[in-house]
Amino acid sequence: MDGSNTVPATGLPVLAETLQTANGRLIGVLTLNAEKTLNAVSLPMIELLTDHLAAWAEDDDVAMVLLQGAGSKAFCAGGDLHNLYRTMHAQRESDQAGDVTGNAYANAFFSMEYRLDYTIHTYEKPILCWGHGIVMGGGIGLMAGASHRVATERTRMAMPEAGIGLFPDVGGSWFLNRMPGHAGRFLALTGISIEAADARYVGLADYVLPHAVRDDVVEALLIQPWSANCEANHALVGYVLRRAEARSGDQAWTHTGPLRQHQDLIDYLCGRDSVDDVLSAMAALETNNPWLDKAAASPRRASPGALRLAWRMLEAAKHLSLADVFRLEYGVALHCAARGDFAEGIRALLIDKDMAPDWLPADSSAGFLDNPWAGHSHPLADLK
């Protein structure tokens, strides 16, 4: 990139630099720098992103922020689960087993992650998120709230949390409820990945561009007439991205995706009164479509308790504000960490890698929506 104002330290989990624009204002660039773990969200990464966004929010010279991932494989493939597993396992072997607020690391991780996601959703200055490659779980949490979100020909987005004993968090209870028809229920229960066209269709992306034009987009941003007017700066970012889309022309991968193609069937399957009815309908589905077949088969491998928890979260969050959704999700995530299937799901997928989780019964997540801080101030009470 031309115009670099600072040289980032390569050993950090987030690389931060500022690019000087033609009229002297700055573009802040944040690069998730954990390529070996597909830029998985770690606590140090969360802390650095939070600090830089806070500093740039107060810096009148910074006109906008570009958020991207290192490497060509992923923007961010989710959360760093190894440390969570270590602390969950240790808690279950201690005298604090079952104590919902007894895992200090889980408390810090989820509270800071959700605060960061909320900050991105409510950031006054434009944030352009370049969602190239794998964008899953915590990665969608970072991308969903950005004001300008780009998907590319290699974007693959999913919320596969039920497959590891969690629920679609990081605001998923909010943005999944705002998707067309019952697409949100379908994505929550199946964890199926979607590509760029469907990402835009369900509201997780705003623009679809070839990854090869990223540097051209940055060059175009550097010559815009930036000012101290945030609204005008938002318009400038949109102008640059719309022009890039127009110049990219018609691409096969920008056409209607499988989720949109099968929206009527998805609504038929998921528009039922109970999660058990939906899961039964999926189990009975017979098609010649590989994408649908994969989606319908996925719940059979997922945690029964997590599937039912995901359903209850979507129902509970229908009319909540974004801040209230994050407050609700924080408590539920701690329930999952303390006494749910979450640790077992991580063990089977990442630790022992036997892909044979020993799930708890379907009713195991009953009570997980109970507020752990009843009678006390919620740790995220200050979210406006």
Instruction: Look at the alpha carbons of 300, 301, 305, 307 in this order and tell me if their dihedral is positive or negative.
Output: negative
pLDDT digits (tens, 9 = 90+) for 268-301: 999 999 999 999 999 999 999 999 999 999 999 9
pLDDT at 156: 98
In a domain, 173, yes or no: yes
Query: In angstroms, how far is CA 95 from the centroid of its own chain?
Result: 33
In a domain, 352, yes or no: yes
pLDDT digits (tens, 9 = 90+) for 297-348: 999 999 999 999 999 999 999 999 999 999 999 999 999 999 999 999 999 9
Mean pLDDT over the full length of the chain: 95
Q: 59 to each of 27, 53, 55, 63, 236, how far by Cα in Å?
A: 11, 10, 6, 9, 19
The 3-class secondary structure across 256-284, one letter per residue, is CCHHHHCHHHHHHHHCCCCHHHHHHHHHC
pLDDT at 272: 98
Q: What angle do CA 116, 143, 253 make, to 5 degrees?
A: 175
In a domain, 94, yes or no: yes
pLDDT at 196: 97
pLDDT digits (tens, 9 = 90+) for 94-133: 988 889 999 999 999 999 999 999 999 999 999 999 999 9
**CB hemisphere CA count around 125 (13 angstroms):** 21
Tokens representing 238 are: 């949109």
pLDDT digits (tens, 9 = 90+) for 339-372: 999 999 999 999 999 999 999 999 999 999 999 9
* Cα–Cα nearest to 208, from 142, 157, 255: 255
φ, ψ of residue 226 in degrees (nearest 5):
-65, 155
Tokens representing 331 are: 């408590």
- For the chain, the domain total comes to 1
In a domain, 378, yes or no: no
What mean pLDDT is predicted for residues 209-214? 97
pLDDT at 250: 86
pLDDT above 90 covers a percentage of the chain that reads 93
pLDDT at 1: 42
Query: Do 230 and 125 meet the contact criterion of CB atoms below 8 Å apart?
Result: yes
In a domain, 191, yes or no: yes
Residue 5: pLDDT band with limits 50, 70, 90: very low
Residue 252: pLDDT band with limits 50, 70, 90: confident
- Concatenating the DSSP letter of every residue in 297-346 gives HGGGTS-HHHHHHHHHHHHHTTT--HHHHHHHHHHHHHHHHHHSSHHHHH
For residue 140, what is the enclosing H or E element? helix 138-144
In a domain, 214, yes or no: yes
Looking at residue 238, what DSSP letter applies?
H
206: three-class secondary structure by DSSP: coil
pLDDT above 70 covers a percentage of the chain that reads 97
Other Cβ atoms less than 10 A from the Cβ of 255: the count is 12
pLDDT over 80 at 167, yes or no = yes
Looking at residue 79, what DSSP letter applies?
B
Burial of 234 (0-12, 13-18, 19+ CB in 10 A): middle
pLDDT over 60 at 193, yes or no = yes
Residue type, 22: A
Query: Do 173 and 328 meet the contact criterion of CB atoms below 8 Å apart?
Result: yes
In a domain, 339, yes or no: yes
| DSSP bridge partners of 221 | none
pLDDT over 80 at 6, yes or no = no
Looking at residue 191, what DSSP letter applies?
-
Q: What is the CATH number of the domain that holds 26?
A: 3.90.226.10
pLDDT over 50 at 2, yes or no = no
* Cα–Cα nearest to 75, from 170, 169, 150: 150
| Parent domain of 194 | 14-365
pLDDT at 150: 98
In a domain, 9, yes or no: no
